[in-house]
Structure 1
């Protein structure tokens, strides 16, 4: 094996290791019992609406 093929092999190994490390991802999930739902009154306050009936389930028209 020549000197240059040894450097190429080491470079490819480093490239493979960097690629495998950078391709890993972490997924964060939030597991609340309310699952992100907020009461209609709070949604009204957040949006500045005058009525909360548009945010109540079953009362959307």
Structure 2
């Protein structure tokens, strides 16, 4: 009787672990696009005093 109970308990634990270990992932297909950082933020990251060289409208064509 004790062997049968232990066997049933182990079987139940095994089935539970098997069922909970299954995982699925859903992909939407649309990649996340990152926005360009603002000129002021780029200035802060590089430690510059002016954001002029990071602003697209302030860059001169050579």
**What is the TM-score normalised by the length of structure 2?**
0.52
* Count of aligned pairs: 45
Uncovered stretches (5+) of structure 2, i.e. residues with no partner: 43-50, 57-62
1:48 and 2:45 are equivalent in the alignment:
no
Q: CA RMSD in A?
A: 2.5
Which has a greater percent of helix? 2
Q: State the alpha-carbon separation in 2 of the partners of residues 44 and 15 from structure 1.
A: 51
Uncovered stretches (5+) of structure 1, i.e. residues with no partner: 54-61
Partner residue, 1:36: 32
Q: State the alpha-carbon separation in 2 of the partners of residues 23 and 10 from structure 1.
A: 20
Q: State the alpha-carbon separation in 1 of the partners of residues 2 and 12 from structure 2.
A: 15
